[in-house]
Amino acid sequence: MSFPAVRLRRLRRLPLFRKMVRETVLRPEDFVQPFFVRAGRGLRRPIKSMPGCDQLSPDQLLRDVRVLYRSGIPAVILFGIPSTKDPLGSEAWSADGAVQTAVRLLKGALPDLVVMTDLCLCEYTEHGHCGVLKKGKNSRNPVIDNDPTLELLARAAVSQAEAGADLIAPSGMMDGVVKAVRSALDSAGFTETSIMAYSAKYASGFYGPFRDAAESPPRFGDRKTYQMDPSNTREAMREVALDVAEGADIVMVKPALSYLDVIHRVKQRWDLPVAAYNVSGEYAMVKAAARNKWIDEKAVTREILTSIKRAGADLILSYHARDVVKDLK
């Protein structure tokens, strides 16, 4: 009888041995917790398709963020739900908008917290698209007009920076947005405000619950003329290359789980931090299966988040962050 020459099981024998040779370890600092803010006081509206997440008024947001901050999570990203929507999405740059109010409150109470703001028009426009519309030449539906959208996004970015945002995250997939936001911030004196570009953002079915949460589904058509085709990775490299050239400080791949190969390729090729967004649909699937007792929520959540980090993500935006941090020792 011959013995196996190498025995990999030796180092798996003891829990502490396994811990010592672990290659990927989650830390609280890896995470960014997303929140949905709407104007008002004392407001806490559960989001049905995202169990554990609520639409919050700024005061309630601060309560939750205090707890989160104590647990070691360094950053939040805010999405706004406006009180009124219009064709241009003008509440996006209102100094008294829900996001601007929330940023002022958070930075006033927790100056060291990293406050990020999502920058997009879809929550603010009555048509629910991420840009302004113009009449289509060859289509019955209107089309999303890239360059006029950039001017509005630049305005909204400056108003978020004025409120005190540390980082602006343009998520609308308009061409040239990073350059437009960078130059608007610089001209307004916000040279220290960072940009995290949603560089490779795919036209994904996994955003469904978010659109409930942010009340932002497109009223007609879909987002395929600006978000990426899930089949493409070389195109993702072009998106990232442009955002890097335009001055992004961090680049993002979104969603995360179906795009681990993209995260990996981006990480191999560029030296700036790579973020991944573990999106609403990915979260909702885990919650739904766990509620049915079909999976072990803790184990699956940790496995998913570890896989995202293992693929190359330096930052992970995830609704699971506040749950998972409790078990990170």
Catalytic site positions: 201, 254
Residue 118 vs 246, nearer CB to ligand PBG: 118
Residue 94 vs 171, nearer CB to ligand PBG: 171
* Encoded tokens for 325: 């941090």
- Near ligand PBG by CB under 6 A: residue from 35, 58, 69, 118: 118
- Does residue number 69 form part of the binding site for ligand PBG (CB under 6 A)? no
Binding letters toward ligand PBG, positions 144-183, x by CB under 6 A: ---------------------------xx-----------
d(CA 216, CA 36): 12
- Near ligand PBG by CB under 6 A: residue from 78, 88, 105, 130: 130
* Cβ count within 10 A of residue 3: 5
Are 268 and 279 a contacting pair, CB within 8 Å? no
d(CA 127, CA 132): 9
Quote the least distance from Cβ 1 to ligand PBG, whole Å: 55
Are 252 and 278 a contacting pair, CB within 8 Å? no
Sign for the CA dihedral angle at 93, 99, 102, 107 comes to negative
**Segment interacting with ligand PBG, rule: CB under 6 A, options 105-113, 149-157, 183-191, 206-214:** 206-214
- Does residue number 280 form part of the binding site for ligand PBG (CB under 6 A)? yes
Helix, strand, or coil (residue 118): strand
Helix, strand, or coil (residue 119): strand
DSSP secondary-structure letter at 176?
Answer: T
Residue 290, judged by CB atoms within 10 A of its CB (0-12, 13-18, 19+), counts as middle
From 253, 220, 216, 258, select the one nearest 237 (Cα to Cα).
Answer: 253
At position 92, the amino acid (one-letter code) is A
**Segment interacting with ligand PBG, rule: CB under 6 A, options 24-32, 85-93, 102-110, 117-125:** 117-125
**Segment interacting with ligand PBG, rule: CB under 6 A, options 100-108, 118-126, 176-184, 289-297:** 118-126
Quote the least distance from Cβ 8 to ligand PBG, whole Å: 38
**Segment interacting with ligand PBG, rule: CB under 6 A, options 91-99, 186-194, 205-213, 287-295:** 205-213
- Does residue number 93 form part of the binding site for ligand PBG (CB under 6 A)? no
* Encoded tokens for 12: 């798996």
- Near ligand PBG by CB under 6 A: residue from 44, 45, 107, 211: 211
Are 74 and 65 a contacting pair, CB within 8 Å? no
Residue 117 vs 280, nearer CB to ligand PBG: 280
Which residues are near ligand PBG by CB under 6 A?
118, 120, 122, 130, 171-172, 207, 210-211, 223, 279-280
